[in-house]
Structure 1
Amino acid sequence: MNILVIGGVAAGTKTAAKLKRENRDYNVTIITMGKDISYAGCGLPYYVGGVIENKESLIINTPENFEKLTQVKVITNTEVLKINRDNKTVITKNTVTSEEKEFKYDKLVIATGADPIKPKLDGINLKGIYYVRTPEDAIKLRSIIENEKIKRVVVVGGGFIGLEIAENLLENNIKTTVIDANENIPPGFDKEVSLYLQEKLIDNGIMILTNEKVVSIIGDEKVSKVKTNKRAIKADLVIMSVGIKPNTKIAEECGLNLEDNKTISVDYNMQTSDENIFAVGDCASVKNIITNKSTWSPMGSSANKEGRCVARTIAGKESKFNGVLGTSIVKLLDISAARTGLTEKDAISLGYNTESVIVPLDDKAHYYPGSGLLFIKLIADIDSEKILGAQVFGKGSVDKQIDTVATSIHFGGKLSDLQDLDLAYAPPFSTAISPLGHAANVLLNKITEGVKIVRFEDFIENKDSYKIVDVNKVPTLENALYLDLSNINGKIENLDYDDKILLVCARGKRAYLTYNKMKYYGYKDVNILEGGLSLNKEVGEL
């Protein structure tokens, strides 16, 4: 069987290598526009910042080594101009020599990936504007940073790559500003999570400008300023990271079905509307496991699984890619943030009867050296108590928590399942009740027991209606009534039974214990501030 693979990064190389492992008699050829294949796109920001020292580390396999290792033929510097579905051929053009060739296929795999979005702005072609999509991009950018006097950089776009670039520039003592037109960054998180992350970045010296649109780039031959709808910012260079778009031009031109977002429409086998053509990676659509709707998952992790699925399908073996949950993670300075499943905003828009909670927790025994504070936001359907999503952020073991939730959602888990999971415990690794178990307990208390947990945003909208009560171990809040948990034995001086009371402590635990006691003694409208002062330090400034 003659199999052509168009594209040679994660999805393309995974498909090709797995095809040869499935059947050594297959004639497999990769055709790619670049001179490199199988490079570490997610590692590019860390090469720019010097965390990854050698550029050779970015190239997982050279074409030559890949051919020797897999017996897959690799044709580089070659663009596919056209797919002829009727006679099952592709027309290509060498980008160096301009020579055109025709290749026949029995099965075709499109793995053309995605391209960086280049906004239509005045000044977009000035010198000093860079993108970070390929190893060449990263190598060029690092060379400029190391060899020229770069003092100020503007990053346009606050996605994961943009923020990772900003972090690495900051580590190199470069004054860095991130501009994004959206209200909150990074995308994919609910508002309160994004605001916490933005605040941490600002505290560490990265200027974050959201709700701000770049309108032009100013300079003679080289960039000198970035102009937004609100101001002008000096810049020695600009990094464009406003997102990517699926590279599906040849798929559209040959008549394959596309989704509304211009990704190639595929079934669970990653097969397109043509039974002899498959699509994988950043150019293809996949299914969301929760909603069963088409979605886009431009992630290296998805690409590799999709490639494996296609190779097994072509080999005649039962294979199915069930879809994704949108699980992702990012490290920003000394904190990490991860998400999986639906955000609360998305769950509500999809019609779920949604409830959520944010809980500050230790990732391991608080007395063990190196324990870290992390926050877990759990989102569930009230009627079924099924877990819909989670967001975890902080200094602790964020990856462990989000992977456990993703696994639970994948298998249709409920909050009670998180309570009962038999997870590993020892002081260096976890708390006796796991962080996720604790967060599930809190959310179930909110859903089934009616414990009133108030978000800071909701409190601010109605702050004059609350009596704020400080229930920390020692008095912490100015202009608030202080209450010692151990002294509650009945009616509390200066608090009436009908008062609307907001209990505030560091993380919420003492507030819950106080809540429980006060409800027992007859207080009717007792509320707990979600996340405590750990999440909402502004309470102490009111």
Structure 2
Amino acid sequence: MAERLVVIGGDAAGMSAASQARDRRGPDDLRIVAFEKGGHASYSACGIPYLVGGEVTDVKDLITRRPEVFRDELAIDLRLDSEVVEIDLGRRAVSVRDHQGGGPYWEPFDQLVVATGAVPSRPDLPGADAEGVYGVQTLDDGIALLRALEEKPRRAVVIGAGYIGLEMAEALVRRGLKVSLIDAAEQPMSTLDPDMGALVADALRGLGVEVFLGERIEGFAESGGLVTAALTENRTLPADLVVLGLGTRPNSALAEASGIPVGETSGIRTDRRMRTPVEGVWAAGDCVETFHLVSQRPVAIALGTHANKQGRAAGINIGGGYATFPGVIGTAVSKICEYEVARTGLTTAGAAEAGFETAEEIVESTTRAGYYPGARQIKIKMIADRRTGRLLGAQIVGQEGAAKRIDALAVAIWHEMTVEDMTGLDLSYAPPFAPVWDPVLIAARKAAKRVDQLNRED
């Protein structure tokens, strides 16, 4: 009799795990059933702001694999609109509610993959449940927001200045709305240092977004169940719709209720092979707790890159192979207005919290040779260990051609290079792509000099 694998979650981690397991074990050996509570599976959640903004014009363009591909070509029984509401570890079964009207029913498993993703943080404030207040986490959320835009709203308020909040603010401006952005922090993007975040705030203002920093949201006004305004401690901002961009948290409640252990970040605990402490139960994606290779601490970071890699590792192992997910360093990139924003490793505050004393340098340069048409500004910040010179973190804010330089810095951090090591990197050069001294090399050289100076002062 074929072994039964049940996968909870039909997006990046879950379907990567299912596909990899199928690649190694045929349907006569392993039956795979995947449950997705929404109406879509295997899609690019990162593309939702561009769908809302109009750069992507068809929802289908965000779907990586159609459901029939999983069912017909991979023999994976993918069931959409099917929500797992309970995991019974003793019974080795999950309870499923069919949103089309069927169930609930029990589905048995021998092996289980929990890939329930993350849930948006939703404030417990007056009016937060009013119609017109949207979280944007799933493709269904994005479609719901698109439908709201068909009603021709004029004013929008975005709560939260992280990646999602900023991308959604830009998307709504592109749709012709008057947009206000609220965040309790003094600068946007807590994953950047304040001096780099200030550049992002300036870019938003240049786009026409009203930016209110250092203000807390206190609630929402509504009329007839519809949101009419966002209320801060200082002002009332009229709104036809509100988008919540307050970040996410691991969607681990289902697993925790069943007895699957979660960690201090509320993410599900796994080992490097994505096994939970429960025999035969695996977890992957935004619902898990992972390990930061620089701070050496547990973290929960919701990114599709991690989810795909973790799902792949789980699937390979279920299929009888061997794969691990070693951890993360927090590399991320985004486009905010005309600016490209990227970061990797630790911020200054994160490095201090992890016990490092730091040396920091910021350099300004151009993305191409200064004389070459189309050269754009770039600012790079490097954060190094004051004693050893090891690169701990880096941030980039710049215009076209800036952000992908973060990959070279991520590789350097991954391999624990010092900033002095980096000064000799053999990076490419041609006027259309970089100055003769690439900004990464300039920043490394100045950071190395700063480390040397601080050590001489001791």
TM-score, normalisation: structure 1: 0.80
Return the offset for 1:374: 0.4
Matching residue of 1:4 = 6
Matching residue of 1:361 = 365
TM alignment of 1:313-352, pairs within 5 A: 313-352=317-356
Deviates more, 1:88-97 or 1:287-296: 88-97
Matching residue of 1:163 = 166
- Contact 2:229 2:239 survives alignment (8 Å): yes
1: CA distance between counterparts of 2:400 and 2:423? 20
* CA displacement, residues 251-278 of structure 1 (integer Å, 9 cap, x when unaligned): 1111111112211011111111112111
Do residues 193 (structure 1) and 196 (structure 2) align? yes
TM alignment of 1:295-306, pairs within 5 A: 295-306=299-310
Give the letter for the 1:286 counterpart: T
Matching residue of 2:76 = 72
Give the letter for the 1:334 counterpart: E
TM alignment of 1:108-187, pairs within 5 A: 108-145=112-149, 147-187=150-190
Matching residue of 1:540 = none
2: CA distance between counterparts of 1:396 and 1:80? 44
1: CA distance between counterparts of 2:426 and 2:85? 54
TM alignment of 1:28-427, pairs within 5 A: 28-145=32-149, 147-221=150-224, 222-427=226-431
Matching residue of 1:20 = 22
Does the residue aligned with 2:94 lie in a helix, a strand or coil? strand
Give the letter for the 1:216 counterpart: G
Give the letter for the 1:48 counterpart: V
2: CA distance between counterparts of 1:450 and 1:265? 40
Unaligned stretches of 5+ residues in structure 2? none
- Contact 2:9 2:116 survives alignment (8 Å): yes
2: CA distance between counterparts of 1:446 and 1:84? 57
Return the offset for 1:87: 3.4
2: CA distance between counterparts of 1:127 and 1:358? 45
1: CA distance between counterparts of 2:389 and 2:179? 43
2: CA distance between counterparts of 1:136 and 1:107? 28
Return the offset for 1:450: 5.8
TM-score, normalisation: structure 2: 0.95
Does the residue aligned with 1:61 lie in a helix, a strand or coil? coil
1: CA distance between counterparts of 2:139 and 2:323? 33
- Structure of higher CA gyration radius: 1
Does the residue aligned with 2:295 lie in a helix, a strand or coil? coil
- Contact 1:445 1:451 survives alignment (8 Å): no
Return the offset for 1:181: 1.6
Does the residue aligned with 1:66 lie in a helix, a strand or coil? helix
User: Residue 433 and residue 277 in structure 1: after superposition, are their counterparts in 2 closer, same or farther (change >3 A)?
Assistant: same
Return the offset for 1:430: 1.5
- Contact 1:109 1:278 survives alignment (8 Å): yes
Does the residue aligned with 2:286 lie in a helix, a strand or coil? helix
User: Residue 68 and residue 399 in structure 1: after superposition, are their counterparts in 2 closer, same or farther (change >3 A)?
Assistant: farther
- Contact 1:362 1:396 survives alignment (8 Å): no
- Contact 1:180 1:213 survives alignment (8 Å): yes
User: Residue 375 and residue 103 in structure 1: after superposition, are their counterparts in 2 closer, same or farther (change >3 A)?
Assistant: same
Matching residue of 1:512 = none
TM alignment of 1:375-524, pairs within 5 A: 375-449=379-453
Return the offset for 1:62: 2.7
2: CA distance between counterparts of 1:323 and 1:258? 17
Matching residue of 1:499 = none
Return the offset for 1:396: 4.0
2: CA distance between counterparts of 1:239 and 1:315? 41
Give the letter for the 2:184 counterpart: A
RMSD (Å) for aligned C-alpha atoms? 1.7
2: CA distance between counterparts of 1:76 and 1:174? 34
Deviates more, 1:124-133 or 1:340-349: 124-133
* CA displacement, residues 82-115 of structure 1 (integer Å, 9 cap, x when unaligned): 2222332222222222412222222111001112
Return the offset for 1:288: 0.7
